[in-house]
A and B are shown apart, each in its own frame.
Chain A
Amino acid sequence: MRRKIATLALCLLVCCGCAKRQEDLNTITLWHWMTDRQNALEELARRYEAQTGVKVKIDLYAPSDIYSQRIVASAQSQVLPDIYGILDKKEIFASFIQSGFVADLTEEFQKNVGAWEKMLFPKALDVNRFPEGNIYGVKAGIYGVPLDVTNIQMLYNKNLLQKAGIKTPPKTFQEFIAAGLALKRVGIAGLVSGWGEMWMVDCFASNYAFNIMGEEKVMATYRGEVPYTDSDWIKVFDIFKELSKKGILIEGIVTKPNKYAEQDFALGRAAFAFNGSWCVNVYHDMNSDLQYGTMLPPPINENLPMRIWGGAGSSLVVNNASVRKDKAIAFLKWLTEKDQQAYLAIETKNLPANREALESIPPILGEFASAMDLTTHPTIWPSNENGLVIEKFDKGIQSIIIGEKTPEEVAREVQAIKERELQKARP
């Protein structure tokens, strides 16, 4: 008898285990990495539930690199949530779309004569847009929803510049060097940035590459038509040599993560910083008395514009396989409406993706917003560089900063990798 009961219990257990999981159709799950936005998002989720009855579960996974790994692992095992973000290169974003993990939102954006699309900054949408004939072979359309916008500029500490007798922030690169030397004379470090994170080195270098040689020549280099040993690229590498040689950079910049760089600037250890608009919130938390302003990286070539990285700060996508896809899209639409965007901007001090919400932002964010038209980003470029070449490029710049290699040596090494990868790509 006991054996029969045990067998029956075992069978029941196996049957329950094999049963299809009961889906809760009224709860959307959102995974994100933004520690500073968790409380605000949770509050918005509460408001959304009160208004619509749909529950939104906000799950935070930080830091961002851990979050990225989790997203890739979840995609491999097909357990992605209803809403999530892809913090990676456009190539990887494209892979997610091609693998069916991301819903095409084009139709939703174009409903009601494109009302949703018109509401948002075009630059922010571009990051989530794949144009006709894109190099990734993705069907043209919009695949993500920007939550906020961002751009990366230079910042200056007003009090420290005053201390060094600098009346106005530098307008050209030579003025910037002169300002750095003046600061050095009074014992203040010039520039701080998180160049221990390679993408920030890449960002600074590509700003100057666009300014020195223009977008077309940069893209031609990525396509393999212009070598990195070209004199214009040497000029880009020379910037780092000059900054390092003249002592403009803060000590230890090559191993400094951006968090520490932010701390250095907020505590007045350096007069200039190269950082993104998210810093407004960070500096406010670290030192609410900090007096600072924004400026574009001072150009070298006055004939070409200085382009800065920017666009969508954080974007979210909808899981194409989700049974709650429509509810997830409805929530994202609600989240990008004026009131919710204004609330997010005030609470988290980030630039809203909705243009109508700009009136509610503090003045320093307004300074960042005014440069949105100058933004560009690798995710919207027609060509992208190979990952191995980028690694060599960024590591090479670190070697120049620590005085280990010359710009010419780095250019030769980067070109050697570029040629090897081009050779491999040839059929």
Chain B
Amino acid sequence: MNIKSPCWFRFQDYLKNFSFALPAILIFSVFYIFPFIEIFRLSFYEWNGITPAMRFVDFQNFAELMQDEIWWQSIGHAAYITFIALTFQNVLAFALALACDREIRMKRFYRIVFFIPPVLSEIVVGIIWQWILYAGLQDGQSIGLLNYWLVKSGLPHLVNDWLSDPQTALTCIAIVHSWKGFGWGFIMLLAGLQTIDRQLYEAARVDGASSWKLFTQVIIPMMVPVILVVVILTILGSMQVFVLVLSMVGQGLGYHTEVPVTRILSAMTGTNRFGYACAMGVNFGVILVMVSIAFRWLSNRMKQA
């Protein structure tokens, strides 16, 4: 090959360009692709996570997972938390974003206040809410803030052991999760609202549109892409909730507050089944990817519409 041929220069050029991308490719491969392949590989083994010896079990971990009622129950719990987040959290975030988008007094202050919960550590949030929902008594008086105020407000019949009652524990966790997470949606939705051209509002008003018409016919259609991003992020964030669960109810309440990540953690550190935990991780990852693809498809359909 002639060393000065155009082909050689093209190759040199290609190498030069590739060298710029190489660090990013290396980092991505080492920290994302390799662990992913490794988790996938380990899911076919029975391994306690320490000994060098692993036993290849084929699809046995996946077969067992399909029949693991507690696993599917935990997915159901995460779906319930996600449902509360999609409705309560996002509606609240949208309402507050709409309020702050208007010319109201102290709107900058509100923006900061609404963004405080998301920046707090989940452990701190869990501990604060555990104190609020605490059911214990001292000298015959409720110590937990919620129960204390229920008694003070003349509603002692509503006093409950909120976090140790299977009927209320998961809902409490879901509400606290929504309280902690609404600030993200609020900021994104507010940013989306501020990109809408004000002239559109004025034009609609001139045409005699009511506030409701303005909201449904102008704001919502313009906000669809942002809403979809917020929805996808809410789903992905809520399905993976676990720090809040651990800090609010620990390992307690039977299986009533189990979510997928606590099950994975329990398989890894409680029963030392690394292979099974990896199979859970792969299964959960596939579910999340499928949900994301479904929403992407839905998003494209809505954009076309």
Contacts and interface: CB of A to CB of B under 8 A. Distances in A.
- Bound pair (A, B): yes
Interface of A: 65, 68-69, 72, 75-76, 88-89, 91-92, 95-96, 98-99, 101, 187, 189, 195-198, 250-257, 260, 264, 267-269, 387-388, 390-391, 395-396, 398-399, 402, 404
25 contacts: A72-B269, A91-B48, A91-B272, A92-B48, A95-B48, A95-B51, A96-B50, A98-B51, A187-B137, A189-B136, A198-B251, A251-B136, A252-B163, A252-B164, A253-B164, A254-B252, A255-B253, A269-B136, A269-B137, A387-B272, A387-B273, A398-B253, A398-B254, A399-B254, A402-B254
Nearest to B147: A251
The A interface, classified by DSSP as helix, strand, loop or mixed, is helix
A404 B254 contact: yes
Nearest to A194: B250
B71 interface: no
B48 A264 contact: no
A65 B163 CA distance: 22
A88 B269 CA distance: 9
A255 B50 contact: no
B251 A197 contact: yes
Contacts of A264: 136
Given A99-B51, A402-B253, A404-B254, A187 B140 contact: yes
Most buried by B among A88, A251, A388: A251
Contacts of A198: 251, 270
A399 to B, nearest CB: 4
B210 interface: no
Interface residues of B, number: 34
Interface string B225-252: 0000000000000000000000011111
A251 B137 contact: yes
B103 interface: no
A36 B243 CA distance: 24
Contacts of A269: 136-138, 143
Contacts, number: 98
B164 A72 contact: no
Interface in B154-199: 161, 163-166, 169
A398 B130 CA distance: 19
A387 B271 contact: yes
A100 B136 CA distance: 48
A388 B276 CA distance: 12
A252 to B, nearest CB: 4
Most buried by A among B130, B249, B250: B250
Contact of B252 (A95, A255, A388): A255
A91 B50 CA distance: 11
B85 interface: no
Nearest to B131: A260
B52 interface: yes
A255 B271 CA distance: 20
Given A99-B51, A252-B135, A398-B252, A391 B271 contact: yes
A257 B126 CA distance: 12
Most buried by A among B137, B161, B252, B271: B252
A49 B135 CA distance: 50
Nearest to B140: A187
Contacts of A250: 136
B134 interface: yes
Contacts of B164: 251-255, 402
A86 to B, nearest CB: 10
A153 to B, nearest CB: 22
B255 interface: yes
Interface string B42-68: 000000111110000000000000000
Nearest to A387: B271
Contacts of B255: 395
A79 B253 CA distance: 37
Nearest to B50: A95
A68 to B, nearest CB: 6
B207 interface: no
